[in-house]
């Protein structure tokens, strides 16, 4: 599902001596890049707003002289040329369409040889540290800053970054002086057009006098965001192609070019555009990030799929695309309450997300607890005009994790809310087996029924919510929730599995032992449910459904359960894809 470099977990983008082994392996360092030339320009222009190049005004003679002198002093190739342009989705989409008419060219081919993993290994990469004072927009009183990651080691597909205002665009070139390499020596100068591995965004997220990390964009089309008080957990991606298909490898599109919009003083959001490229398609993306308790990201995308001959020119064996993963989410689930397979670990639960939540057009809300299966599981939920889906972290009690180093109870839930109708399609849930927490082994995405045609514009948009409170994220949907799932062997018959499913919420509070809600259960034809009963749990004011599942063979079984009173559906529909452990 993921290449090795994208499987590695990280909790922070700075290196500290006490970081966990996974972070040490990944080798993320604080890379906060902004060019000396751009910095000098910003400092000079900030004193003379009327002559600010980035705001589209004229240049004073004094500024022009300063500019010429600086340019003369800089090495050739460091000067970032600018263009007069209004950056919009159509501006980026035109570039994407032009690129889609040619075969894919990997940025890896342009990376200097001495930055590749066989030359720049983990220990050497760790030596590199960005000089923090050079962050983009750090010299001005603006609400956001951008810091960049150094290319090389595992990050061999560099991105090219531009800054834009209402009327201007200029590249942000690579400048070696922005980094502290300590004792590390390269055989030659890194070219100014090399690009970066990625970038991270900072803002005063948790307190006004402190710059906190809001998000990071690094590796293929992966990115993570945070809301207030949260810790890094799951990721989102720009696109996933043929994810979880057993007869072909997954194709990993990559963001290759970025346009970062310079914010105004006091602005509450950051605007960005990107080109996504791959063997099979090219995309143009617009992102608007609004930080808060629940951080909101508006996403609008346009895809152009390449014609077959352009695809085969790069990969002669590439089969036609089977699944187009729109709004893909990637997370980690090692074990939790529902896990039948346990590991030699002192912690009760280890996961970034514990369930897939889906809102169907007919009003039904599905909750599917996550699992770490013995072999790959790929479950598909057909839907039309889906209201939304997301990977949710419901367990918010530290005592259920007991991890002092990884704040799993603070990782964000991520909800995908389509803008407009997405028509017919499917929510896919792919789960891979994993033996430790360093692997992201869960993916959820939307696959449209109508597949895009080559070189035809295919547009869609959605909103991503990154939050820790489902009520604040408006994910209650007037249904009481599933709060836990537990599974074990029936003590009277080892062939029978026993499920304990707990439901809680305001609708269920009115019921008593003498007036119980009803459990409506069902399963696929290769199993039976010989017993189900509802019990009140006085210890946490919830209602527990105990059901017994009798499999008829070794094939997976789909199970459903909900609580009702008469015709009124009181709760989410609990659904599970059980396989022999």
Q: Which CATH architecture has domain 4-467?
A: Distorted Sandwich (2.70)
d(CA 576, CA 375): 16
Choose the weakest-confidence range: 66-70, 256-260, 324-328, 440-444: 66-70
Q: pLDDT at residue 3 above 80?
A: no
Closest CA to 448 of 310, 321, 282: 321
Tens digits of per-residue pLDDT, 156-191?
Answer: 999 999 999 999 999 999 989 888 999 999 988 999
Q: Which CATH architecture has domain 481-578?
A: Sandwich (2.60)
What b-and-e string marks burial along 26-65, b requiring 16 or more CB atoms within 10 Å of the CB?
A: bbbbbbbbbbebbbbbbebbeeeeebbbbeeeeeeeebee
Band the pLDDT of 14: cuts 50, 70, 90: very low
Tens digits of per-residue pLDDT, 341-382?
Answer: 889 999 999 999 999 999 999 999 999 999 999 999 999 999
Q: How far is CA 501 from CA 484, 557, 564, in A?
A: 6, 17, 14
Domain ranges for the chain: 4-467, 481-578
d(CA 9, CA 28): 10
Structure tokens at 418: 């389509």
Tens digits of per-residue pLDDT, 107-137?
Answer: 999 999 999 999 999 999 999 998 888 999 9
Band the pLDDT of 69: cuts 50, 70, 90: very low
d(CA 569, CA 562): 7
Closest CA to 202 of 416, 14, 479, 472: 14
Closest CA to 374 of 188, 541, 556, 201: 556
Q: Which residue has the higher pLDDT, 22 or 374?
A: 374
Choose the weakest-confidence range: 24-33, 254-263, 386-395, 473-482: 24-33
Tens digits of per-residue pLDDT, 296-348?
Answer: 999 999 999 999 999 999 999 999 999 999 999 999 999 999 999 889 999 99
């Amino acid at each position: 599902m993921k290449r090795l470099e994208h499987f590695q977990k990280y909790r922070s983008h700075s290196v500290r001596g006490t970081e966990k082994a996974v972070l040490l392996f990944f080798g993320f360092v604080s890379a906060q890049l902004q060019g000396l030339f751009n910095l000098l320009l910003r400092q000079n222009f900030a004193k003379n707003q009327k002559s600010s190049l980035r705001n589209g005004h004229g240049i004073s003679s004094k500024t022009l002289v300063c500019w010429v002198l600086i340019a003369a002093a800089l090495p050739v190739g460091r000067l970032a040329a600018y263009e007069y342009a209004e950056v919009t989705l159509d501006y980026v989409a035109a570039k994407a369409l032009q690129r889609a008419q040619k075969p894919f060219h990997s940025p890896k081919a342009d990376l200097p040889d001495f930055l590749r993993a066989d030359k720049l290994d983990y220990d050497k990469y760790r030596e590199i540290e960005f000089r923090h004072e050079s962050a983009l927009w750090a010299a001005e009183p603006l609400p956001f800053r951008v810091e960049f990651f150094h290319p090389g080691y595992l990050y061999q597909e560099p991105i090219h970054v531009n800054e834009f205002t209402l009327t201007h665009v200029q590249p942000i070139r690579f400048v070696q002086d922005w980094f502290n390499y300590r004792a590390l020596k390269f055989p030659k100068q890194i070219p100014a057009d090399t690009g970066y591995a990625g970038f991270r965004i900072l803002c005063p997220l948790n307190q006004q006098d402190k710059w906190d990390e809001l998000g990071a964009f690094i590796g293929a089309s992966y990115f993570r965001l945070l809301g207030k008080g949260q810790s890094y957990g799951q990721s989102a991606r720009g696109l996933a192609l043929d994810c979880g298909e057993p007869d072909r490898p997954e194709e990993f599109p990559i963001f290759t070019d970025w346009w970062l919009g310079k914010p105004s003083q006091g602005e509450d959001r950051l605007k960005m555009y990107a080109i996504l490229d791959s063997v099979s398609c090219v995309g143009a993306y617009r992102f608007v990030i609004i930080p808060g308790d629940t951080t909101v990201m508006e996403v609008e995308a346009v895809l152009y799929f390449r014609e077959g001959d352009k695809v085969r020119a790069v990969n002669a064996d590439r089969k036609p695309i089977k699944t187009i993963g729109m709004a893909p989410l990637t997370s980690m689930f090692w074990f939790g309450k529902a896990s039948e397979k346990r590991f030699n670990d002192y912690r009760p639960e280890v996961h970034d997300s514990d369930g897939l939540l889906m809102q169907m057009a007919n009003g039904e809300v599905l909750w599917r607890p996550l699992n770490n299966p013995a072999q790959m599981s790929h479950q598909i939920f057909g839907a039309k005009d889906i209201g939304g889906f997301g990977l949710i972290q419901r367990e918010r009690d530290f005592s259920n994790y007991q991890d002092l180093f990884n704040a799993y109870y603070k990782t964000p839930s991520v909800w995908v809310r389509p803008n407009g109708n997405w028509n017919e399609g499917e929510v896919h849930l792919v789960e891979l087996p994993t033996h430790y927490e360093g692997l992201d082994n869960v993916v959820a995405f939307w696959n449209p029924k109508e597949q895009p045609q080559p070189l035809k514009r295919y547009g869609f948009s959605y909103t991503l919510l990154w939050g820790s409170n489902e009520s604040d994220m408006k994910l209650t949907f007037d249904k009481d929730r599933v709060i836990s799932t537990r599974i074990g062997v029936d003590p009277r018959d080892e062939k029978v599995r026993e499920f304990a499913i707990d439901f809680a919420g305001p609708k269920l509070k009115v019921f008593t032992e003498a007036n119980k809600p009803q459990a409506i259960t069902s399963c696929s034809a290769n199993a039976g449910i010989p017993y189900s009963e509802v019990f009140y749990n006085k210890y946490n004011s919830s209602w527990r459904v105990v059901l017994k599942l009798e499999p008829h063979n070794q094939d997976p079984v789909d199970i459903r359960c909900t609580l009702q009173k008469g015709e009124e559906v009181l709760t989410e529909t609990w659904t599970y894809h059980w396989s022999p452990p």
